[in-house]
């Protein structure tokens, strides 16, 4: 057995032990799609200085480190510009949980926002067939690279270079939309390009929102329990920043409070958010939800009808070609 095959099977076993890949079809996809073809190099932070490991390194020890790194259950930084991470390959176990939460059925069409390395599109293509998969990537160079990686692995889904906030109307309608980049809000173009009953799964704040599309102007759903941290969506607009001085350090270090702060930016000041968080006994992510309706967008706690409802303040492109 080849080294990469052995490492890939070990990774699948680790993901299964963690409670994911209960669906045999997704387990087969992770077992058979070679991640190393999608991560020919990645950056690792040694002593605060990014180190580049790649599969063609003349040093056999560094090549071995690269291959073992590819098949660890960790996110991998795959592209940097001016010292900033602009693309990554997500943690495989998180990818597995997200793909299973999509609850795809044979014949479903999927729009992926953020092609990245192409690995997620390959897993979707393995499960549904490449003709059912469309992936949008903002960066032309990254989109070209994803196509090359996919072709090397034997997959040719549609990879489009464009603004993910606008979706891809030319390939609509979709049964599922999955985003692999953090959003300030959910673009209204997405439910417009979905069939009724479609699901949209996207990172928002530091959580994963799962929306059911009721019609072109209405979608609603709750956050999953799972925390999630991704590279931000690019090309979509402007996020909202809050001044957080004066808050207790312990609160600021709590991921659930920071999650609430992001959801309420522009609607509550940080002290009001802190009071709410403490009064409601530090709610978990799954108590929150999001509603899109008639051009508006709101986050809420427990009940979309109130009493805790906040307008999402992220600015996103309203439509697309």
Domains of the chain in start order, with CATH, are 3-162 (3.40.50.150), 249-311 (no CATH)
Predicted pLDDT at 246 = 67
Cβ contact 147:159 at 8 Å: yes
Residue keyed to tokens 């070209």: 144
Cβ contact 261:270 at 8 Å: yes
Predicted pLDDT at 198 = 98
Catalytic residue flag (residue 87): yes
Average pLDDT for runs of 10 along the chain of length 321: 91 97 97 97 79 94 96 93 84 97 97 96 98 96 97 98 96 97 91 98 94 97 93 59 67 90 88 94 97 94 94 56 31
Q: How many CB atoms lie within 10 A of CB 59?
A: 10
Cα–Cα dist 101/99, whole Å: 5
Predicted pLDDT at 262 = 87
Determine phi and psi for 267, rounding to 5 degrees. -115, -40
Cα–Cα dist 234/139, whole Å: 9
What is the reported pTM?
Answer: 0.92
Using the Cα atoms of residue 188, residue 190, residue 194 and residue 196 in order, give the sign of their dihedral. negative
- Could you say which of 2, 87, 117, 145 is catalytic? 87
């Amino acid at each position: 057995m080849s080294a990469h095959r052995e490492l890939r099977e070990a990774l699948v076993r680790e993901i299964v032990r963690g409670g994911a890949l209960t669906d045999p079809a997704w387990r087969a996809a992770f077992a058979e799609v070679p991640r190393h073809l999608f991560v020919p190099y990645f950056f690792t932070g040694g002593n605060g200085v990014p180190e580049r490991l790649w599969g063609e390194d003349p040093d056999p020890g560094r090549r071995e480190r690269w291959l073992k790194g590819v098949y660890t259950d960790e996110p991998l930084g795959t592209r940097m510009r001016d010292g900033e991470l602009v693309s990554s390959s997500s943690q495989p176990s998180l990818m597995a949980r997200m793909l299973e939460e999509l609850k795809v059925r044979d014949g479903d069409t999927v729009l992926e926002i953020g092609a990245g390395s192409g690995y997620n599109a390959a897993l979707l293509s393995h499960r549904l067939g490449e003709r059912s998969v469309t992936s949008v990537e903002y960066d032309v160079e990254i989109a070209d690279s994803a196509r090359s990686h996919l072709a090397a692995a034997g997959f040719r889904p549609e990879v489009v270079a464009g603004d993910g906030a606008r979706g891809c109307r030319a390939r609509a309608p979709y049964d599922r939309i999955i985003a692999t980049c953090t959003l300030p809000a959910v673009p209204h173009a997405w439910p417009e390009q979905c069939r009724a009953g479609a699901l949209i799964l996207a990172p928002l704040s530091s959580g994963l929102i799962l929306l059911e599309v009721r019609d072109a102007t209405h979608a609603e759903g709750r956050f999953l329990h799972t925390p999630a941290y991704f590279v931000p969506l690019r090309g979509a607009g402007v996020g909202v920043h809050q001044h957080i001085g004066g808050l207790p350090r312990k609160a600021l270090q709590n991921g659930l409070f920071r999650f609430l702060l992001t959801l309420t930016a522009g609607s509550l000041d940080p002290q009001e958010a802190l009071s709410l968080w403490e009064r409601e006994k530090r709610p978990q992510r799954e108590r929150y939800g999001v509603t899109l309706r008639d051009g508006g967008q709101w986050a809420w706690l427990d009940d979309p009808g109130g009493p805790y409802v906040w307008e999402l303040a992220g600015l996103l492109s309203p439509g697309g070609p």
